């Protein structure tokens, strides 16, 4: 039996990266788009690890299926680790990638130390709670101005020295081979046999988890249509 795994993200860019890297995994990959709308999870953890687990377990518990989620972001040395877990909303709730990059470049104006790294934590959780965790990072330098048209997030300002390009100048194949998320997912792929056995064992020990209907009460689903 091929295990099913739900990718717990609505970010289409992340979803594309997940599917590309996991396409030969022999796992039935699903996304949130394959199901009806589910309540949002509040990402209020202090670390990437906490947020990744919270998203994975939240999705697994509501759908009754194993789920994989990531939390990732940019960590800049001279800014004390910012933007960190607030990377997606560094310039405020609903901020665009361009606005986040602009705020970052403003914060780094005049700084000589522009070292940074992207960090990614992946969590694979089953409905009852247990999870597997994978983590990786990619080091680089923040440029003084954006370069490149591909990618998303901080890719246009993140310079990867080994290739002599920003992430936004790399092809999807090049980026996935060296990125924080790509390397974390490759770790998952190298341990697929173990992961499949772990999932089968955990799921066989569990009774089917019924959705918590309290999660849905008072929600205007017309907003999601």
**pLDDT tens track for 162-189:** 999 999 999 989 999 999 999 998 999 8
pLDDT over threshold 90, residue 203: no
Asked if residues 31 and 5 have their Cβ atoms less than 8 Å apart, the reply is: no
Q: Give pLDDT tens digits for 86-100.
A: 999 999 999 999 999
d(CA 16, CA 222): 26
Specify whether 71 is catalytic. yes
- Omega into 134 within 30° of 0, i.e. cis? no
The pLDDT tens digits of the residues spanning 35-61 come to 888 898 988 999 999 999 999 999 999
Burial of 134 (0-12, 13-18, 19+ CB in 10 A): buried
The catalytic residue among 71, 77, 212, 220 is 71
**Contacts of range 195-200, beta carbons closer than 8 Å, 24 or more positions apart:** 195/124, 195/132, 196/3, 196/27, 198/132, 199/3, 199/5, 199/66, 199/124, 199/126, 200/1, 200/3
Position 7 confidence tier, pLDDT thresholds 50, 70, 90? very high
Residue 70 reports pLDDT greater than 90: yes
Q: Give domain limits for the chain.
A: 4-224
**Mean pLDDT, residues 107-126:** 96
| pLDDT value, residue 214 | 58
pLDDT band at 211 (very low <50, low <70, confident <90, very high): low
* Total-model pTM: 0.83
Q: How confident is the model at residue 25 (pLDDT cuts 50, 70, 90)?
A: confident
Confidence label for 208 from pLDDT (cuts 50, 70 and 90): low
What CATH number belongs to 4-224?
3.90.950.10
207-225 per-residue burial string, b: 16 or more CB within 10 A, e: under 16: eeeeeeeeeeeeeeeeeee
Whether residue 23 has pLDDT greater than 90: no
Confidence of residue 224 (pLDDT cuts 50, 70, 90): very low
β-sheet bridge partners, residue 83? 75
Q: Is the pLDDT of residue 1 over 90?
A: no
Task: Assess whether pLDDT exceeds 70 at residue 126.
Answer: yes
Looking at residue 27, what is its pLDDT? 81
């Amino acid at each position: 039996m091929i295990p099913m795994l739900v990718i717990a993200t609505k970010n289409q860019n992340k979803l594309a990266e997940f599917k590309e890297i996991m396409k030969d995994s022999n796992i039935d990959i699903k996304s949130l788009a394959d199901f009806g709308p589910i309540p949002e999870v509040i990402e209020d953890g202090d670390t990437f690890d906490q947020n990744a687990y919270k998203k994975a377990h939240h999705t697994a518990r509501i759908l009754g299926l194993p789920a994989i989620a990531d939390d990732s972001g940019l960590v800049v040395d001279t800014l004390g680790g910012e933007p960190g877990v607030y990377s997606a909303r560094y310039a405020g709730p609903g901020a665009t990638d361009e606005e986040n990059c602009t705020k970052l470049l403003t914060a780094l104006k005049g700084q000589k130390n522009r070292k940074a790294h992207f960090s990614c934590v992946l969590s694979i959780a089953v409905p009852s709670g247990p999870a597997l965790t994978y983590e990786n990072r990619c080091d680089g330098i923040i440029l003084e101005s954006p370069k490149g048209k591909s990618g998303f997030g901080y890719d246009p300002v993140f310079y990867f020295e080994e290739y002599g390009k920003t992430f936004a100048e790399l092809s999807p194949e090049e980026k996935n081979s060296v990125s924080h998320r790509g390397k974390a997912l490759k770790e998952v792929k190298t341990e697929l046999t173990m992961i499949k056995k772990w999932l089968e064992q955990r799921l066989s020990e569990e009774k089917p988890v019924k959705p918590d209907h309290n999660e849905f009460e008072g929600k205007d689903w017309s907003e999601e249509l």
